[in-house]
């Protein structure tokens, strides 16, 4: 609610509520403010009235919105992305559905970091080369190296 008052668009904190707001035609800051004020009213006093809404109705709304959030276009292109990225996405999806959002985000962050490190290491390794020390025997040692190069060549 505070973000809406200063011109922000609340999103990551309550994805489902934001999706419902956008799908219902909310395009301005006032739609975010109204959603925030309604939530504040529910927290401060309307919870007794809201308690009469059957859980089945709330579950139906959550399932409908959850299905609406799925990016089907992204799933269609799953075969076109690198396998590692696709694996991270599928693991995140499974963890989100069967474990929880926080655990999925933590696992996805770690997996994405490991995947990034692997790709970076592969890129560096492609450009790296190694030679025997004998090929460096023509090099002149630095003043502080002394006869180190001569001893290594033997």
Domain positions in the chain are 1-70, 71-154
Q: Angle, to 10 degrees, between the axis of helix 83-98 and the axis of helix 101-127?
A: 170
pLDDT digits over 138-147, tens only?
666 676 666 6
> What does the pLDDT average to over 95-117?
90
pLDDT at 120: 92
Token look-up 């609340």 returns 10
> What does the pLDDT average to over 52-71?
83
pLDDT at 19: 72
Which whole-number Å values give the CA distances from 138 to 69, 97, 122, 135, 151, in the listed order?
Answer: 65, 63, 31, 7, 13
The span from the CA of 69 to the CA of 100, in Å, is: 16
Tokens matching residue 15: 């994805």
**Looking at the predicted structure, is the pLDDT value of residue 47 above 70?**
yes
């Amino acid at each position: 609610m505070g973000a809406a008052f200063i011109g922000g668009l609340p999103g990551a904190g309550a994805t489902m509520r934001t999706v419902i707001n956008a799908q219902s035609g909310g395009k301005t800051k006032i739609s975010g403010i109204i959603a925030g004020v309604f939530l504040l009213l529910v927290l401060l006093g309307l919870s007794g009235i809201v308690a009469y809404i059957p859980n089945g109705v709330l579950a139906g709304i959550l399932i409908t919105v959850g299905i609406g959030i799925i990016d089907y276009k992204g799933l269609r292109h799953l075969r076109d992305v690198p396998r590692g990225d696709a694996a991270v996405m599928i693991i995140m999806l499974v963890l989100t559905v069967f474990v929880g959002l926080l655990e999925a985000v933590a696992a996805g962050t770690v997996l994405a970091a490991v995947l990034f490190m692997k790709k970076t290491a592969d890129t560096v390794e492609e450009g790296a080369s190694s030679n025997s020390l004998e090929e460096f025997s023509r090099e002149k040692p630095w003043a502080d190296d002394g006869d180190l190069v001569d001893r290594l060549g033997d």
